[in-house]
Structure 1
Amino acid sequence: MSVADPDPVPCDPTRIVLIRTSHPGNVGAAARAMKVMGLRELVLVQPRFPDVLVQEDTVAMASGAADILVRARIVDSLDAALEGVHTACATAMTPRDFGPPTAAPREHLPLLAPAAAAGQRVAFVFGSERFGMSNDEVRRCQVCLSIPTQPDYGSLNLAQAVQLIAYEWRLALGGYPVVERTKAPERATLDEVHGALEHWRGVLEQIGYLDPAAPKKLMPRLQLLLDRAGLTREEVHILRGIARAVAGRTPSAPM
């Protein structure tokens, strides 16, 4: 008996391919990296553990991206993983002596986006944690993406590499809008700010910081400070709460 997919996959031009992964946690973390960038198709080539998609570490590291694991496929070869793909992008730290051109993701991926928008499928291929991709596997691809890193140490965890490529690809496809607060905080009225200022005047006199006989310009300066701050009503309540707490701890406070 098969269970119906509760969330059908929309048209997605992207395929993430992981070759000979060793650690189940990396598979789960890669699935999570994909999900946050809206990528849905994951294919594993000869993983170390045939049951990697259901192992405890995999599911734990997926952290809410179990649907990616449910849809993922395991195949025996890179050729099988790239079936139906129009453009394959290898990933490697350093360029190879012979093979496809090497490019930075941010420079190259926008060039692929129009074809992907037209329905052509793009695959991003990642090698194993220990050995990366072989020369033959890199040559199976049309471009080699190299993430610009600090020259003396460019080693990235597999899931980190997937996250970076997925982020750059999502930007190239148009990105997602930044979600802003739906309701702006309510601005304090002038009388509420004045009430807070008067509250603090009494507290400052109580603790001996303000001499009512020679106030100088302390209160006008505080007025300017509060005006510049553009206080919200909540912030006014906080200031008055602090004033009450200070007044309650001074020796001259009424018992």
Structure 2
Amino acid sequence: MTDDTAAPQPTFVLVNPQMGENIGASARAMLNFGLTRMRLVAPRDGWPNPKADALASGAGRLLDAATLHDTTADALGDVAFTFATTARRRDLTKPVFTPEAAMRHAAGLIAGGAKVAVLFGPERAGLENEDVVRANALVTVPVNPDFPSINLAQCVLLMAYEWRRQQDATPPVATEWAGSAPATGIEIERLADHYEERLDAAGFFFPPHKEASMKITLRNLWSRMPLSQADVRTLHGILRQLVRQRDPDG
């Protein structure tokens, strides 16, 4: 794995990171979401850094492939569009994106063949304006304005997650069927018939003028419940047992 052969994706550039631990945690966060391109600009404690390896927790190969640069300008030399992450106002005229919008825009640029980078500043005070001016746009996380500073690795995690969301087709809500399968229309129909028949025999649908609406309500209850085939069998069994206890000869 090298900086230039990874799958199409943004490059994350850590500018003057101070702690090896945060570099390692950033690598782990990146790999969690399928990102493998990291560039380092003048890490305070030098490079390589054994403390980074300790915190990478399985993402050491990403650190091995990270490229080292003396300046931000050098790290961005082959990049067509750069986002700079910042938690404070800069008095610079630039578009400001949320992380989600930034990575959506990045995905479109990358699909068109452009190289995209995201700048992250050092832990103490973030990016300097000398670095920010090299970016085409800013990214600001909508955090608590009274406590806006985000740890370097946490910021990397946020951006990596938003990148992954642009590539992933996972539905926002899904049901785990726990070894069963969704009940079919005919299975729900038979369950409804079973309950309606037994409730009718027990005199549940009373008074007579409300019988039709009560049956519709009951049918609607079954149709809006996300029942599995196992659920249907269980509900049939419950009703049979209740009837058997009430009328052993029935």
TM-score band w.r.t. shorter chain: 0.5 to 0.7
Structure 1 residue 16 and structure 2 residue 12: aligned?
A: yes
Which among 89, 96, 102 is matched to residue 103 of structure 1? 96
> Counterpart of 1:234?
230
Aligned to 1:82: 76
Instruction: Give the 3-state SS of the residue equivalent to 1:44 in structure 2.
Output: strand
Identity of aligned residues (%): 31
- 1:207 matched residue in structure 2: none
Contact 1:89 1:123 (8 Å CA) reproduced: yes
User: How many Å apart are 1:137 and its aligned residue?
Assistant: 2.2
Helix, strand or coil at the partner of 2:167: coil
Aligned equivalents of 2:220 and 2:17: distance in 1? 62
Select the residue among 151, 167, 175 that pairs with 2:167.
175
1:185 aligns with 2:182: yes
**1:123 Cα offset (Å):** 1.4
Q: How much has 1:127 moved relative to structure 2?
A: 0.8
Q: Counterparts of 2:136 and 2:76 in 1: how far apart (Å)?
A: 12
Question: Judging changes above 3 Å, is the alpha-carbon distance between structure 1 residues 112 and 58 closer, same or farther for their aligned structure 2 residues?
Answer: closer
Asked whether the 8 Å contact 2:182–2:227 carries over to 1, the reply is no
Q: Does 2:92 match 1:119?
A: no
Query: Which residue in the other structure is 2:154 paired with?
Result: 160
Q: Distance in 1 between matches of 2:38 and 2:76?
A: 11
Matched, 1:92 2:86: yes
1:41 to 29, 34, 37: 37
- Partner of 1:119, secondary structure, is coil
The one-letter code of the counterpart of 1:185 is: P
The 1:245/1:35 distance shift into structure 2, 3 A limit, reads: farther
Q: 1:57 aligns with which of 42, 55, 58?
A: 55
Amino acid at match of 1:104: F
Change (3 A) 1:241 1:126: farther
Counterparts of 1:223 and 1:182 in 2: how far apart (Å)? 24
Query: CA-to-partner distance for each residue in 1:37-69, whole Å, 9 max, x for gaps?
Result: 44320112233553247532222xxxx644433
TM-score, normalising length: structure 1 = 0.64
Cα distance, 1:194–1:211 mapped onto 2, change above 3 Å: closer
Separation of aligned partners in 2, 1:12 and 1:78: 21
Which residue identity does 1:176 align to in structure 2?
D
Letter in 2 for 1:177: A
Q: Which residues of structure 2 form unaligned runs of 5+?
A: none
- Quickly say closer, same or farther: Cα 1:112–1:14, change in 2 above 3 A: closer
Match of 2:138 in 1: 144
Q: Helix, strand or coil for the counterpart of 1:30?
A: helix
Contact 1:13 1:117 in 2 (8 A): no
Give the conservation status (yes or no) of the 8 Å contact 1:41–1:68. yes
Structure 2: distance between partners of 1:53 and 1:42: 17
